[in-house]
Amino acid sequence: MPRRSRLTLRTRATIAATAVFALTLAGASVLLVTTLESHLTTASDQLARARIHDLLDLAARDALPAELRNVDEEGVAQVVDDRGRVLAASENVAGRAAIDDTDPGTSYVVRTVRAPDDSETETYRLWSASGPSPDGTVTVHLGNSLESVSEASSALRHALEVGVPLVSALLGLITWLVLGRVLGRLDRIRAEVDQITDQRLSTRVEGDGVPDEVGRLAATMNAMLARLESASERQRRFVADVSHDLQSPLAGQRVSLELALRDPAGVDPERLRTEVLGATGEMERLVRDLLDLAAADEAESPPPAPFDLDELVLEEATRARTGPVPVDTSRVSAAPVRADPGDVRRIVRNLLDNATEHATSRVELRLDTQGGRVRLDVVDDGPGVPDEHRDLIFDRFYRADAARSREGGSGLGLAIARVLAERAGGRLTLVAGTPGGHFRLELPALDQSVVAATAGRLPVRRS
């Protein structure tokens, strides 16, 4: 296993930031010194060539002064004729022999030479060029001391050698302090979250009001805690509701069996069978709905397939007509969709079961396509859903008041229908402003090019 570093995140980040900054500054410093030397040398060369041109012009007009004054303090200049005599010179080489015997011709020639500088000897970058004069040909030698360039670059180099470490150390200190503040805020959030247990999910992380990344992290943690608290509360309600719903049929079975055991001779077998099987069927429906709901929550959506929703709706309406409430399908029109037929059948069946359970005299089904969406309306003329219950009607184990509730339901039918509708890419809503119960299922309509390609009715899978 790789060995873990003992350095803290704060230390590692500070070292990394300081090292990167120091290396960057060092590279920039080298580039700066090199660039300075290059620019100084280039400027010196341009000035030397310009002065050589001026001196050659003076020599051609026989106007050379005996002493050349237009030379830098650390420079040197001589004008020599073709016989090696010095015709003119700068003050620091006055009375000296020619400092170089190179014959450059008509072109400019540059080289490094050592020549006198008063009582010393200096290294020069010497430029030379020849030209005509009234007495023949003259050669101009003009050089600038390399010491001036090296002194300027050396001064900058020394300044950088001191400045770069100081600036890097300052940056390291600033990085250490800033990271300490940021990581301190993170550590405070970690400590607060570490104290939160499943019994204290209502606790929230205290933010410091700074709208930065750490502040957003605190807000995100609080949002996550709110979701966990909501999920935990739903789980507790779920367990309580399941316990309550199972308790009634279990208690009924127990009472029936105890009475039968207490007086076996007076037992009516038919009544006992009806009571026990009725309670068992009620528990079976509840367990089946729970399994369906859990499967809808956890399983991935089945692959969609094209089919005619109107045929499926008419089949379910035929099944629902076996009950006492008539089902009107006169407003059901063709509606091809792409979804899982099994899921959609379960949605339609749950909606029809809910409508026939609460209807007073009739249930109406309406099916059409509008704006790329297939819309199924299931309407009953029952008492409707009170306004205060509209936001709760799709909750699990929800049951409305007595006006909209009858015995036998698990309170999961509409919850299962909504989960399956969302899994199919649609939505299930309760339509407001209408008498009775009015539920609307919307699903994506099948593309018309697919409909035309089928050249007929689409299949409907039987469940």
> Would residue 70 count as lying in a domain?
yes
* pLDDT beyond 50 at 226: yes
What per-residue confidence (pLDDT) applies to 459? 56
What per-residue confidence (pLDDT) applies to 463? 45
Greatest mean pLDDT among 10-24, 88-102, 291-305, 440-454: 10-24
7 Cβ contact partners less than 8 Å away, ≥ 6 residues apart: 15
Structural domain including 148 reads 1-195
What per-residue confidence (pLDDT) applies to 270? 82
Are residues 237 and 384 part of one domain?
no
Rounded Cα gap, residues 308 and 456, in angstroms: 10
What per-residue confidence (pLDDT) applies to 296? 64
Instruction: Look over the chain and give the mean of its residue pLDDT values, rounded to a whole number.
Output: 82
Question: Collapsing DSSP states into helix, strand and coil, what is residue 431?
Answer: coil
- Which token pair is 99? 């400092």
* pLDDT beyond 70 at 298: no
Structural domain ending residue among the three candidates 195, 221, 244: 195
> Would residue 398 count as lying in a domain?
yes
Are residues 384 and 320 part of one domain?
yes
Distances (CA, A) of 202 to 206, 240, 256, 383: 13, 20, 44, 38
Angle at which helix 341-358 crosses helix 309-320, to 10 degrees, equals: 40
Are residues 306 and 283 part of one domain?
no
Residue 15 CA, distance from chain mean position: 28
Higher pLDDT, 317 or 235: 317
Element (H, E) at 141: strand 136-145
> Would residue 462 count as lying in a domain?
no
- The beta strand positions in 265-308, using DSSP E, are 305-308
Phi, psi of 258 (to 5 degrees): -65, -40
What per-residue confidence (pLDDT) applies to 308? 92
Are residues 131 and 19 part of one domain?
yes
Residue-by-residue DSSP string for 40-100: HHHHHHHHHHHHHHHHHHHHHTT---SEE-SS-TTEEEEEEETTS-EEEEEGGGTTPPPS-
* pLDDT beyond 90 at 439: yes
Are residues 313 and 424 part of one domain?
yes
Tell me the per-residue pLDDT of 141-165, one tens digit each, with 9 for 90 and over: 998 888 878 888 888 888 888 888 9
Question: Collapsing DSSP states into helix, strand and coil, what is residue 48?
Answer: helix
Residues 379-408, mean pLDDT to the nearest whole number: 68
Are residues 290 and 310 part of one domain?
no
Tell me the per-residue pLDDT of 163-216, one tens digit each, with 9 for 90 and over: 889 999 999 899 888 888 887 877 787 877 777 777 777 777 776 667 777 777
> Would residue 393 count as lying in a domain?
yes
Are residues 268 and 185 part of one domain?
no
What per-residue confidence (pLDDT) applies to 388? 75
Nearest CA-CA partner of 436 in 367, 352, 378, 351: 378
Q: Tell me which of 51-55, 57-61, 91-95, 236-240 is least confident.
A: 236-240
Are residues 92 and 15 part of one domain?
yes
> Would residue 200 count as lying in a domain?
no
Are residues 310 and 237 part of one domain?
no
Nearest CA-CA partner of 421 in 389, 394, 450: 394
What per-residue confidence (pLDDT) applies to 245? 66
Structural domain ending residue among the three candidates 129, 161, 195: 195
Cα-Cα end-to-end distance for the chain: 55
Are residues 123 and 43 part of one domain?
yes
**Domain CATH code at residue 274:** 1.10.287.130
Contact 420, 269 (CB under 8 A): no
Higher pLDDT, 327 or 451: 327
Number of domains in the chain: 3
Structural domain ending residue among the three candidates 297, 323, 348: 297
* pLDDT beyond 70 at 301: no
Tell me the per-residue pLDDT of 265-292, one tens digit each, with 9 for 90 and over: 777 788 877 877 777 877 777 777 677 6
Are residues 222 and 185 part of one domain?
no
What per-residue confidence (pLDDT) applies to 449? 55
Contact 338, 306 (CB under 8 A): yes
**Domain CATH code at residue 420:** 3.30.565.10
Burial (CB count within 10 angstroms: exposed 0-12, middle 13-18, buried 19+), residue 432? exposed
Rounded Cα gap, residues 369 and 108, in angstroms: 91
* pLDDT beyond 90 at 364: yes
**Single-letter amino acid, residue 178:** V
- Which token pair is 232? 């935990």
Contact 340, 301 (CB under 8 A): yes
Are residues 150 and 232 part of one domain?
no
Question: Collapsing DSSP states into helix, strand and coil, what is residue 386?
Answer: coil
Cα four-point dihedral sign 19, 25, 29, 30: positive
Higher pLDDT, 426 or 228: 426
> Would residue 268 count as lying in a domain?
yes
> Would residue 260 count as lying in a domain?
yes
> Would residue 257 count as lying in a domain?
yes
Q: Tell me which of 127-131, 352-356, 384-388, 419-423 is least confident.
A: 384-388
Question: Collapsing DSSP states into helix, strand and coil, what is residue 308?
Answer: strand
- The beta strand positions in 383-455, using DSSP E, are 427-430, 437-444
